Structure 1
Amino acid sequence: MRTIAVLTGTRADYGLLRGLLRAIEDDPELALRLIATGTHLVDEFGRTSSEIEADGFAVAAAVPIWTGCDDRLAVAADVGAAIPRYAHALAEIAPDVLVVLGDRLEAFAAATAATILSVPVAHIHGGEVTEGAMDDALRHSLTKMSYLHFASTEDHRRRVIQLGEAPDRVYAHGAPIVDALDALELLSKGEVERRFGIRLPEPTALVTFHPAVMDAAEPEVLVDELLHGLLAVNGLHMVITGSNSDIGTADVRARIAAFVTEHPDRVDFVESFGQLGYLSAMSSVAVVAGNSSSTVLEAPVLGVPSVLIGDRQKGRPIAESVAVPRPDRHSIAAAVRAAIERTSTTVETSIFGGSGFAERTATTLRDATIPRPPRKSFHDLQGEPAHD
């Protein structure tokens, strides 16, 4: 039996990983060991480990890493301190593979510990580009620390190979969000309103904003422009969700909290919907706005128009239903008005592939030849032209 450790650090990545966790549990030749970390263990961010427990998954290791201070020096220190904590958890679990998703600091620190311990790493969502965020460097670093790669598109697979990874270790298994949507029976608008105590009149915008240190402007400037742009749209109601634990989060959260307090007639706030609640709310609104990856992934797949702010997602595939205005309140307001006026939006699934990510990935984790230690050679393109 092959033991698969899977790391989850936020409500967002857990929602994407849930299907894979089920597929691993259902395979008699695989043993799941779930590592919960990051904001899952922080009260301020909703302590979403309760969602994991409610789904029936056993947590093999809970690894707290955030001290609560979000300036750059403190976050760097937290990441450094996290590496030995992850190392101890991995040494105790002794997995054959560690699975990480995306580009966050939790995944970077855990993969660093795994690399030092010679634990093979499997990385989901490599080869993507987000030029306006530090995430870009973290994601590509994760690629180089990983032995197996599960890219969401053929273009992303090609980029991973361009980074020197052998093609036979790089798989285009599709985006896990497609599986997640296929597996969920979304709540009705009325059920969302009752369950979360919010209002969803016509029109409503679902708003999520995370600070990004390399964005087009400082996070506090961008969030102010976003909120005032939305406020300028007459009759628009807003449902705002909590921000991730990132550098600059405290200031962004304080500004959002003040905005919610100042405009109780037009704004509702939900710290964490959970995946089912979030996607159900998204399917019930007129527009999605902010800089979360949900503006370019979930919203297009659900056929909901979205307005993307800043450069945090720059480089990702952008569907026709995603507007990218200049990051000022007037342009944002105009883009939101135009999105609301759209009578229909095409469901955009082609760029993300079809469903089946979880089953394909679990099968690969079971059947792939994975050496220990995970030695690999640099795959040279041998004169092949590089593409953007």
Structure 2
Amino acid sequence: MNKNICVITGTRAEYGVLKPLLSEIGKNRNLNLQLVVMGMHLMREFGYSIDEIKKDGFKISAVVNNAYKEDSKSAMVVSLGKEMGALPSIFKKLNPEIVVTIGDRGEMLVAAMVAKVLGISVAHIHGGDVSGNVDDLFRHALTKISDFHFPATKKSKERILGFGEHPKYVWRVGALGLDSILKPGAFENKYGIDFSSRYILVVQHPVVSESGQAKQQAVQTLEAVKETGMKAIVVYPNADAGGRKIIEVIKEYEGVQGFKIFKNLPHDIFLFIMSNAAVMVGNSSSGIIEAASYKVPVVNIGSRQKGRERGSNVINVGHDKKAIKRAINRALFDKGFRKKLANVKNPYGDGRTARKIVKILQRVGKNELKIR
């Protein structure tokens, strides 16, 4: 009998990273892919990315309707509560042997908690990373709950081992988001983007602990980008507390000449747009993890990624218009920085992560449940 592998996804960005793994599991004769979709995927104002999952041909095994009703921390907690109430019956029906989680989001922590109470093994991708904000609490809690660990870097692996996890169940596999970079595919330009001229890619998410400042932070970023006079592609943020405040600001720039705004972009399209950007600006983990493989310079703003390992393509600044604009100019024109950029190495691996994870998932299971 095939081993049931249940993968959880709650956001468009995380789905894009997981997609190569979903494909590898789906085509493996010894594994049965189960996909549970929830959260931001079901929110039309953020692009309703469940449609993207269906279009990609993945069978959705279950849907948890826990979309946020408002832009607040309490709404996030209510959403997690709905998830916790829904998952026991879903897991009972699907009977997975392993539940696969990724990163540091609350949806993942709840899924892992429910799985462990029900005696189901948990695998965690991207454990051991440090972003330097409150999300680390969820990530490290996931590490302690999980049975099998797939960190991206040497430092992340060492951090997991430092938490007391058994070396036998910690595998450094690289960053899953890099798998798509090796297979970008043909790009059909149906998004009206002019690739013949340089543009700035902007992706800025809220930081939950700074949600009250999200609107002003977005203003500083977008004003700096506007003042460069360059074209810009702006992508909506995630749905965490403060996300709707950022969207309010983005909407004010819809009429700015040269600005193109997208609620959602398929991951492969997003990577293509990133690979051709003159510079990426904001606080997305894509700027930290994937951009180095394309040798794209990144202006990383604020605290959201402050603890992560990064390549020499990244310039760190605060939420200040003048500082952001200076950093953009440095990324584009500073000869010393451009020389470093040409030789940048990505610390997150070689882009063959999904295959490594699937090989391990085939050979581990319930008989290796962690006992505390």
TM-score range, shorter chain: over 0.9
Residue 96 of structure 1: aligned partner:
97
Q: Please report how far the alpha carbon of residue 266 of structure 1 lies from its aligned counterpart in structure 2 after TM superposition.
A: 2.8
Distance 1:215 1:80 in 2: 22
Contact 1:82 1:109 in 2 (8 A): yes
Structure 1 residues 124-143: aligned runs within 5 Å: 124-132=125-133, 134-143=134-143
Residue 228 of structure 1: aligned partner:
223
Q: Please report how far the alpha carbon of residue 34 of structure 1 lies from its aligned counterpart in structure 2 after TM superposition.
A: 0.9
Structure 1 residues 14-163: aligned runs within 5 Å: 14-132=15-133, 134-163=134-163
- Partner deviation per Cα, 1:64-89 (whole Å, 9 max, x = no partner): 21132121112112211210112221
Corresponding letter in the other structure for 1:311: S
Contact 2:121 2:365 in 1 (8 A): no
Corresponding letter in the other structure for 1:229: A
Q: Please report how far the alpha carbon of residue 200 of structure 1 lies from its aligned counterpart in structure 2 after TM superposition.
A: 4.5
Contact 1:83 1:109 in 2 (8 A): yes
Q: Percent identity?
A: 31
Gap regions ≥5 residues in structure 1: 378-388
Distance 2:239 2:367 in 1: 35
Corresponding letter in the other structure for 2:125: I
2:291 alignment partner, one of 261, 278, 299: 299
Contact 2:5 2:98 in 1 (8 A): yes
- Partner deviation per Cα, 1:30-63 (whole Å, 9 max, x = no partner): 1111111121122111111122122211111111
Matched, 1:256 2:250: yes
Q: Please report how far the alpha carbon of residue 316 of structure 1 lies from its aligned counterpart in structure 2 after TM superposition.
A: 0.6
How many residues matched? Answer: 367
The alignment's TM-score, normalised by the length of structure 1, stands at 0.90
- Partner deviation per Cα, 1:130-184 (whole Å, 9 max, x = no partner): 113x211111111111100000011101111111211111110111122111122
Contact 2:101 2:122 in 1 (8 A): yes
Structure 1 residues 315 and 98 mapped into 2: Cα distance closer, same or farther (>3 Å)?
same
Contact 1:4 1:30 in 2 (8 A): yes
Residue 385 of structure 1: aligned partner:
none
Residue 321 of structure 1: aligned partner:
313
Matched, 1:242 2:243: no
Contact 2:97 2:365 in 1 (8 A): no
Question: Which moves more between the two structures, 207-216 or 293-302?
Answer: 207-216
Contact 2:180 2:268 in 1 (8 A): no
The alignment's TM-score, normalised by the length of structure 2, stands at 0.94
Corresponding letter in the other structure for 1:73: S
Residue 304 of structure 2: aligned partner:
312
Distance 1:347 1:11 in 2: 31
1:204 alignment partner, one of 193, 199, 206: 199
Contact 1:102 1:123 in 2 (8 A): yes
Structure 1 residues 155-174: aligned runs within 5 Å: 155-174=155-174
Q: CA RMSD in A?
A: 1.8
Corresponding letter in the other structure for 1:160: I
